[in-house]
Structure 1
Amino acid sequence: MTELPPSADLRTDEPHPARVYDFYLGGKDHFTVDREFGERVLGICPQLRPLARANRRFLVRSVGLLARDYGIRQFLDLGTGLPTSPNLHEVAQGIAPESRVVYVDNDPIVLVHARALLTSRPEGATDYIDADVVDIDRIIEQAARTLDFTRPIAVSALALFHFLPDPQPAELLARLCGRLAPGSFLSISHVLPALRDVAAAYQQAMGLGTLRDRDEIKALFGDFELLEPGLVAAHLWRPELDPDGEEPGDEIADLGVCGVARKPVR
């Protein structure tokens, strides 16, 4: 595990969502408490592991599509989590080396790993903002050091908003999307009410877990226009873009959805 500064409070006596997610993905940057909680939750719903992996492949496909087909060169990733290769900037800069990427998270271990691992190609840039995603005004201010808000930006909020109670997601998105230029994009993935027992476990352990149905998730996109195929399970979102990817079957179809939408160009 990457060396941590003495002042970092990692809260190793309680599970943390980013570290538990790392466990689901088969990573190594988590603690015993995270692994024990993750194993308990997988006992409730073993499909969480393929769901997490499908969500990661959705990130790779969606970022690749936006960089390649829509010419997006600026990316803002909310709730980054622990680095898992390929990371967003690796996908974007693999297509367009000049791409600029800003990561946002507020977990100390994520911060340390981001500083150590999320390094840009010389032609582009990456930055990391240590902030709670609900502090969106601060995020916009600091992201402007790297990103030009007068030009399109692709915002990712993957496996994030089900950790926030209403009305926080809608409020922060309204403020953020109002600052984005026409032609910008918003990507969201979110679990569905079928995971109510999992949400209850997270709520008990971390005080986190807010379930929303498809209509409520779709409403988070506001007036952005969903790209085809709309709001679907992660493994069903443009699978032809990743023909070699090992995607799960329909066992995760009712557990979560994702989508990418574009801010209208008037």
Structure 2
Amino acid sequence: MRAFPNCTFILNGGMRSLDHCRGVAYGSHISFDSEGRGRVDEATSGDDINKIPYDKLPPGSHLEPEPLPPANLKGVMVGRLARDRPSVLWDVDRYFYGEEKNPCRNRREVMEKYMQFIDRVYPRRCCDNDENLSLGIGRDKPVKHVRDSCDLCSDFRSCAFMSGCKPCLAEDGDNAGPAETLGSRRAKRHKNHANGTKVVSRIIDKTLQPVHGILYGKRGNKPFLRESSRLSRDLKVRNCGAAFILWSAMKKAPSEVWDEPFEYSESCLTDYFPTK
């Protein structure tokens, strides 16, 4: 980066933990033991900075932070860390940005907030009379629900954390459904084989993917993934929405795993190496 002083850099290389990200962004050293577990060391003096320009280093060499960050470094990218182990980022508000506390204390609180979010953005289609598809491309109009829940998702809708999550209703007198109708060949194929299912598979896949790694390294991870995958392909369930699918799949993992408090970043050791 010193070889390009007039450029702004955002590092994109497999960040292993918040310790690692903070070390790169703020200029402290990371050392890893023989088992690949990382620790943040104290920053050393500027005299120890590696003199080799970054454009001459082999790919991946920027994973080891400099003692002092370059002035044109604006951030680090944590795409694979967020994909593989999203729960690690629970401490980002406090540990990385200096906030007093984080918004969630355990995985259950994370999942509840996420289910509230996706239920507003991608509302269920089991409780409306509109036959158009939800294609999930950001241009769907509000769906007008005619009842609070169906027989399948009534228990889920009665949960305390869902009580304040209101459906996105159309305006009075507006009977408009999703803005995009069955214009594409893919939508027509969906109508032919889906037998009344109004939520296309790519909506479900897109909303489930961010939490696939929420139980990384924890008991119940594989049963949770298997059940969420099975329900996502169940055409009888899909109209109830991705939030209902996640809520149902969570039952396959022990309750104590969801309620276990997160560990603060200072006490965490990582054996994680990003996948490609």
Band the TM-score falls in, shorter-chain normalisation: under 0.3
Structure ranking higher on relative contact order (CA contacts 8 Å, 6+ apart)? 2
Quick check: which one's strand share is greater? 1
Q: TM-score, normalised by structure 1?
A: 0.25
Asked which structure has the greater CA Rg, the reply is 2
TM-score by length of 2: 0.24
